[in-house]
Structure 1
Amino acid sequence: MSLLTEEIRALVGREVSYTAPEELGRAAIRYFARAVGDDNPLYTDDAYARRHGYDGVIAPPTLVCETNQYADVPPDPDGYAGHDWHIEIPGTRKVRGGNTYTFHRPVRPGDVVTATWRLTDIAERRTSGGQEMLVVSSAAEYTDQQGRLLVTNEETIIFVALKEEG
């Protein structure tokens, strides 16, 4: 039995975009930095940021990747309210395979961020134990209100077939 059905294969190339409902504010930057335990003055002190080559405070790099601020969707049963392809494959376990981020320019107060996700590939593989798995690859681009690239994100989700009891 193949995990890669025609219905799932047809998802490759699908694209979705989420645009923040408002500009990023200084308070959100400050609160996010505090929440992740990062006390870098680049995020709170304009003079310090200017001395280090910026026009003023910038956001911690990973703030832009928290797409739940852009996706106007209700939380799922696990409480997650960010981007998800909503691929359900019975008889599998969903595993995060990882993310690779490339930061192109800092996010600043006043930026309106758009996250555009594209499902780039779905491939069948086997685990070292011989179980079938599906590897789902997607990519996101985060841009500001002028269309300038802020961040790219490559993400891998893996669906591993559950071992049959026998």
Structure 2
Amino acid sequence: MNDMTRKFPKITEEGLDDLRKRIGVKIERTVEPWCYEATRDNIRHYAHGIGDDNPLWCDPAYAKTTKYGDVVALPSFLFATSRIISGYVGGLPGVHAMWSGANWEWHKPILRNTEFRTEAYLKDLIEHETRFAGKAVQQIYHVDFYDAKTGDMLAAADSWCFRTDRDQARENGTKYTEAKAKGRRVYTQDELDSYNKYYAQETIRGAETRYWDDVTEGEELPTMVKGPMTATGFIAYAQGWGGLYIRANKLAWQLQQKHPSAGIKNRFGIPDCPERVHWEEEFALEVGAPGAYDYGPERASWLTHQVTNWMGDDGFLAQAKSQVRRHNPEGDIILIHASVIRKFEKDGRYLVEVQQRAEQQDGEMSAIGSAIVELPKR
């Protein structure tokens, strides 16, 4: 049997019934997180994994000059402290899971060397009809993040994956029909230069305080570029974030013994992780994707990266929401546009709401997001 005729497990009513029994039940034994602590290196590796070189996260000498007195973790670093928030789903073994969005609320800055404790539960299951794979199930988890030493709540978030039928997506999905027919784009140097200018212009607000008084509704944030997408870039993110199923040698074997569906044979007949859709073109096509593609939490982190660049060291990201709308395969370039849509006061805090839209090079929507930022008042 060649790869493109392989048949995968399907969504069944029995599987859904089993999952429904888990709704609201605290998950007692979660998968070990990639990071238990916000060490200097863990923070920097995550930041570099999304292309963020903000010295508040990455440069202790600079960070000593700020109100924090040391490096702090970027808000999206918390993806590395919970596999559940990052898309490690239970139930429906062998059914594909695509991370598709999150709603975050942060309560405190994440200081260097903070140790984490998390609590999680399955929040809801919602059935959908999709262009990508027909019937799909949205599987929503809730996770609370605590300082393990003090017990203080640091953040809370909902995130969700869509569980999809891999065979249905490959054989009958219509979402990427036109994209597959067009084939991959090959860029000229002039085209690349037209996007690279955004990297050259990228500004980190840093120590220059952005005051609430000076922000106006309708104000645009600087456009942020990400890409061109490469498997190298996806792996760079996995280095900082940890991935879900990436294991080597004995540890890979142990995972596959415990979860056989996590070892899908590759072209050499060797069991390998389903996560290889992010770097192996053939397997990505097999599950209906347009090619090897980026990680969902990675894209959510790009959205918050734009906001933290803009708000400066004295701003605080209080909330962020993201929805992933399509795959970003190798070769795609993403432009993130944003503007301030509201200025308001609440409980003595001075807040602004930012709306975001990420588009790929042909103008197709890649993701949408929003954020609420607390800023100092003069």
TM-score, normalization: structure 1?
0.69
Q: CA deviation at 1:116?
A: 1.8
Distance 1:5 1:42, change over 3 A: closer
Deviations 1:67-89 (A, max 9, x none): 3xx66xxxxxxxxxx76233226
* Separation of aligned partners in 2, 1:117 and 1:10: 15
Provide the identity percentage.
22
* Separation of aligned partners in 2, 1:28 and 1:108: 12
Q: Which position in structure 2 is the counterpart of 1:113?
A: 116
Residue 37 (structure 1) aligned with residue 40 (structure 2) = no
Q: Which has the higher contact order (CA 8 A, sep 6+)?
A: 1
* Separation of aligned partners in 2, 1:43 and 1:136: 32
| Contact persistence 2:57–2:72 (CA under 8 A) | yes
1:122 to 118, 121, 125: 125
SS at structure 2 position matched to 1:139: strand
Residue 54 (structure 1) aligned with residue 57 (structure 2) = no
| Aligned counterparts, 1:1-166, within 5 A | 3=13, 5-16=16-27, 23-45=37-59, 48-49=62-63, 51-67=65-81, 84-88=88-92, 93-127=96-130, 131-145=134-148, 146-161=150-165, 163=168
Deviations 1:105-162 (A, max 9, x none): 2211221111222110112233369933222111111111212222222111112345
Paired residue type of 2:98: V
TM-score, normalization: structure 2?
0.34
Q: Whose radius of gyration is greater, 1 or 2?
A: 2
SS at structure 1 position matched to 2:141: strand
* Separation of aligned partners in 2, 1:32 and 1:5: 34
Distance 1:31 1:124, change over 3 A: closer
Which of the pair is proportionally richer in helix?
Answer: 2
* Separation of aligned partners in 1, 2:110 and 2:125: 31
Paired residue type of 1:144: D
Which segments of 5 or more consecutive residues in structure 1 lack a partner in the other structure?
72-81
* Separation of aligned partners in 1, 2:79 and 2:36: 16
Q: Which position in structure 2 is the counterpart of 1:76?
A: none
SS at structure 2 position matched to 1:11: coil
